[in-house]
Structures are given as structure tokens and as C-alpha cells.
Structure 1
Amino acid sequence: MREADNQQAEWLLASTGQLRPIEPIDITELDIRDAENVEPICMSIDPKSLFVDPLYQRSIGDRGRRLIRQIVEGWDWNRFKPPACAYAEHNGQTVLKVFDGQHTAIAAASHPAIGEIPVMIHEARETAQQAAAFVGQNTGKLAVTPLQLHQAALVAGDDDALTIDQVCGRAGVKILRFSQKTFEPGETVAIGAIASLVEKRGAMRARIILEVLVKAGMAPILAPQIKAIEMLMTDDEYREAITADALVDTLKDSWLLDHDAAKQIALTHKWPFWKALAIHWFRNTKKVRPATGRAA
């Protein structure tokens, strides 16, 4: 049946008020393998007996507490989603750890009228398996930050996450587990920009680029800074005219002035901020030879 015929049939079905049955789709071209792991089981559990693992789940902050209070105040079983759990060893005892749904579990534990909740228990005893399950269940969810997903992927032994961690370690970059108000030189929460840099430029080139920002004492290292240095050290128009050491000298102790100047350049030329920042830094960096670029 053609797509148009399918849509017309669905419209006719909806107009009569009939229910639409669940039917399999055509899977003839799929490479189907055995399902990974075993199917979970559902059990009713006292939420106060559950645990969370700080290795891949951050603690509850003010925003999380507000969300939990909202869940408690407006508790509705029709909106309830069972937390995903797995057995683990803790202080010589077997316990259940929540790897997805800790806000729901805490709300249930806080509600005076709720003694037990259903949970889905998965076969994932190892922390790495639980972290991998956390990544799988939360990838694409807006409520879960890229920093949380990176930390969970790191615990799970994901190759890309391990490469990023190694690159940052060698460059002197410290990836924080969550954003904060004050930062030390070399600290960052720009995991998305770093991941993109490593994927695009490779581990060695990414490390060299990040080292410039570390040596310049950036606190924190921001995504526009990463993209700006990447452009200056990889683009043929700029990379042969300057050195990494010269860039470090330019960047030291000048971030606030550089930020304001780049904003003005971005407004004037309608450029992205990171590009304007790169041009500003290039103009102020000592050249090793006359530059052919228009921004010299």
C-alpha cells in the first residue's frame, strides 16, 4: 500500500473512533541480532531502600529539589514511570541502585502516603553496565546534561569518552561534573565543544589546541575559545603565520578586554562570536611571517 493510501486509511479509522491495533512493520531489510541482556522484571519496592551511584549521577541541586517538590505535590499514578534499577553490592549487602529515575524515587520516598513503588530491575550488576544503561535511556533527553552523559559514558568505558578524558588529561584540562559559579584555570564544562574538536581534529591536534587555553590560564575554558583557537591553528589562512606560544602570550590576562572587543567585531561584521574572537586574537598575535589573510 502506498504512503498516501496508508494515511487515508488512518484518517478513516480515526474518524470512526475505532482503536488502531499494534501491528508489526516490514523488517525484511534489517540485520536482526539476538537482544542484548535479558528482559527486566517489575517489582514493588520501598523507595527509601534504593540507592544512587555518584559515579555517573550527580547530586540533587536546587532545581532538582524544586522538581521533586512538584512531583510530590501533584503525584499522579497515571504519569508515573517506574525507575530503572539494578542490583549492586554495598557495604557487604545486595541493594538496588537507581540508574534512571532518581527524582521519581526521591519524590516517592518523600510522599507521606506512598510506601512502595514499582521499579524495573535490569540485569546490570557492574557499574559500567549501569552507566551504559543510563546513557542509553537518557541520550536525547533535555533534562540530562551533556556533562552527566559524558561522565556516565566514561564510567561505562565508552571509547569516545575515554579518548576525550585522555586528551583533556594530557592537555591539563579538567572537565567538571557540573557547572559552578567560580572556576580555576583549565576547568571547563564545554564537553560538547571538546568532543567535537576531538572527533574533527583527532586526539593529538585537539590536545595541542586545548593546551593553548590551559597555558593562557583560561578559567573556565569556554566553547567559543576552543573554536577560535581551533580556527587559528588549523585554517591555512592563519596557522602558518602564528605559533602556539605566541597565542598563549596574546591570551594571557586579557579575557575581559578580548571578550568585549570580539563582541563589537561580531556585531559589526555579523560574524559568530567565536570567529570574531579568533580574528581579534589573530590581529594581536605576533606573526612569524607576513600573513596573506585579510585579517592580518
Structure 2
Amino acid sequence: MSDAAIVALPIDAVVADHGTPPLRPIAAVSLVGLDVADPENIEPICVTVDPALLFVDPSYQRSIGERGLKQIRRIVEAWDWNKFKPPACSYAEHDGQTVLKVFDGQHTAIAAASHPEITEIPVMIHEAKETAAQAAAFVGQNTNRLGVTPLQLHQAALVAGDEDALTVAQVCDRAGVRILRFSTKNFTAGDTVAINVINGLVDKRGAMKARIILEVLVKAGMAPVVAPQIKAVEALLTDPEYCNDITPENLTAAIAGSWLVDHDDAKQLQLAHKWPFWRALAIHWFRNTKKSRPAAGRIA
């Protein structure tokens, strides 16, 4: 077959001859039923900069830890422009000067600044001059990305002024819960990294009920406050099977100072009945809590 004959054939036929699926063109999807608004902000621009001249805002991005440092070293060691994604940046004022702040891609930027053969990298500059706008952009770019923790996203959402994040922070503050910015080995009473469970609790139960539930664990001295504990107390103070027989005060008294024993006993229940750990913990705590008639103002 001549070259001319090959060119004349439809592309699907040419591809099929080689046993490879045809290319799929980018095509618009149906917008039926959508209320399409004008795009927010303006499209970003791509420029080339010295990575050592970029900055990171610690108000919504954590410092590089040991894990992050290992990641940076891996990037430097096996630098591949085909795997490169331009960091997302925005202009900001700092100490009277206009600088570029990285709100997504700081590991890439640091790796580039560390690489002995790289002096410039392309970056995408977005219109987000204020810190809150930059933090909101960070949340938007990282919500579904692996490696960015829920704690980082919560902190960024707070800086961005997200209403739900602010409500969760207020609930925790009033309950005495301190949401950590990253996990640690040294906890004090009320510390927690269980932000996803707390988000769900506030969303499902409302601010007041969520505060009462969390307050039980803080007053009981839990360090840290962990997800199974939150779920167990939620069940005890909201499930009709339990909540009419106990008060938050009696529950606090029953669980204070006995976490290690309670944990082991709940583990035994879990294994014996194949229950989720939080349910086994709830039943164990219920058995140990002084029973009383419903009190005014208690969660029902």
C-alpha cells in the first residue's frame, strides 16, 4: 500500500490496522440542566521564574517535615520534566515588595530550587492577591488530591473564611477541643486530628449538639480525642436506645481516667461480636454509666 493510500484512509481504519484504539477527541458535554455562571477570576498566565525567589505562606501551608523532605529529595534525584507540574502562584505584598507566593506546589518549587542544574521553572500565576483568596485556591486545587491532609485543608479553609470551617472551629473552641495542624506523638487533653469526623458531626447534629458531644470527651481528659470516641459518644447521646437513660455529665464521669482499660475491654467486645470498634466502645461505656431519667436540655 502506498503512502498516498494510507493518508487517504480514515484515521480509525489506520489505527485499527495497528491494533491501537483510535484517539478520542476532546468534546463538549451536554449542559442541559446546568446553570452555568461566568468564570470566576481571570485565566492564569504562565511565566518562567527563579524558584528561589518564590515564597510560601505558613498561615495555610504547613512547614516541610521529614516526610516532605524525603519527597523533595526524591523529586530532585529523579527530576523529569515530563512529570513536572507548574506550581500555582499569585502576586502578594510582603515587607513593601511585590512577591510571588506559591499556594500549590511548594514541594516542586523547593526541589527545583535545590537542583544544581535548574535555575528557572514555569509557574502559573493566578489572580488571588489576598491571603484568603490564595487559601481558597489552595483548597480548590487540593480537595481531591492524595497527600494533602484534611488538617491542611481545614486550616486553609479557615484562612479563606469558609463558613463551614469557621463553624467547626467555633464548636471545637467552645467545647475545649484543639484541632492540631498536623499529627504528633505528644497530645494534651482536648487535642485532636479527627477533623473529618468532627466535620461530619457538626454537619449532621448541628453546632450545639456537636459541642456537647465533644465536651464530654474533653472533660473526661481524652488526649487525643479520636474518631471512635467521638462516634461512641454521639451514639450514646443521640440514639434513642441509649440517650434517654444517661446524661452527658454521667457519661463524662464514667469514662474519665479509664481510657486504656476501656480501650482493651471494647476491643474484646469488638472481637467477640464483630462490631465496629466505636460501637463496642459505646456499649462498654453505656454499661459503665450511671443511669438516670432524661434531664432538661439533654440531647434527644
Q: Identify which of 179, 183, 189 aligns with 1:179.
A: 183
Amino acid in the other structure paired with 2:98: T
When the two structures are superposed, what TM-score results if normalisation uses the length of structure 2? Answer: 0.91
- Secondary structure of the corresponding residue to residue 262 of structure 2: helix
Over 3 Å counting, the alpha-carbon distance change for 1:262 and 1:14 in structure 2 is farther
Report what 2:297 is aligned to. none
**Are residues 1:15 and 2:16 paired?**
yes
**Are residues 1:276 and 2:277 paired?**
no
Report what 2:92 is aligned to. 88
2:284 and 2:12 mapped to 1: Cα distance?
58
- Equivalent positions of 1:24-173 (< 5 A) are 24-173=28-177
1:41 and 1:275 mapped to 2: Cα distance?
52
Runs of 4+ in structure 1 deviating by more than 2 angstroms, as ranges, are 10-30
The answer to whether the 8 A contact 1:213-1:221 is kept is yes
Q: Shift of the alpha carbon at 1:289?
A: 4.8
Over 3 Å counting, the alpha-carbon distance change for 1:93 and 1:212 in structure 2 is same
Q: Shift of the alpha carbon at 1:24?
A: 2.2
Report what 1:5 is aligned to. none
**Are residues 1:243 and 2:244 paired?**
no
Number of aligned pairs? 281
Amino acid in the other structure paired with 1:218: M
Look at both structures and tell me which one has the larger radius of gyration over its CA atoms.
Answer: 2
Report what 2:222 is aligned to. 218
- Secondary structure of the corresponding residue to residue 241 of structure 2: coil
2:14 and 2:169 mapped to 1: Cα distance?
53
1:202-239: CA deviation from partner (whole Å, max 9, x where unpaired) = 00000000000010010000000000000000011111
1:14 and 1:183 mapped to 2: Cα distance?
61
- Secondary structure of the corresponding residue to residue 98 of structure 2: strand
The answer to whether the 8 A contact 1:52-1:98 is kept is yes
Over 3 Å counting, the alpha-carbon distance change for 1:231 and 1:11 in structure 2 is farther
Amino acid in the other structure paired with 1:158: D
Amino acid in the other structure paired with 1:167: V
- Equivalent positions of 1:194-205 (< 5 A) are 194-205=198-209
The answer to whether the 8 A contact 1:13-1:20 is kept is no
1:264-289: CA deviation from partner (whole Å, max 9, x where unpaired) = 00110110000000000000011115
Structure 1 unaligned blocks of 5 or more: 1-9, 291-296
Q: Shift of the alpha carbon at 1:115?
A: 0.3
Query: Over aligned residues, Cα RMSD in angstroms?
Result: 1.6
Structure 2 unaligned blocks of 5 or more: 1-10, 295-300
1:13 and 1:27 mapped to 2: Cα distance?
33
Q: Shift of the alpha carbon at 1:92?
A: 1.1
The answer to whether the 8 A contact 1:49-1:96 is kept is yes
Over 3 Å counting, the alpha-carbon distance change for 1:14 and 1:23 in structure 2 is farther
- Secondary structure of the corresponding residue to residue 60 of structure 2: coil
When the two structures are superposed, what TM-score results if normalisation uses the length of structure 1? Answer: 0.92
- Secondary structure of the corresponding residue to residue 89 of structure 2: strand
Over 3 Å counting, the alpha-carbon distance change for 1:28 and 1:232 in structure 2 is closer
Identity %: 70
- Secondary structure of the corresponding residue to residue 74 of structure 2: helix
Of 66-75 and 24-33, more deviation after overlay is shown by 24-33
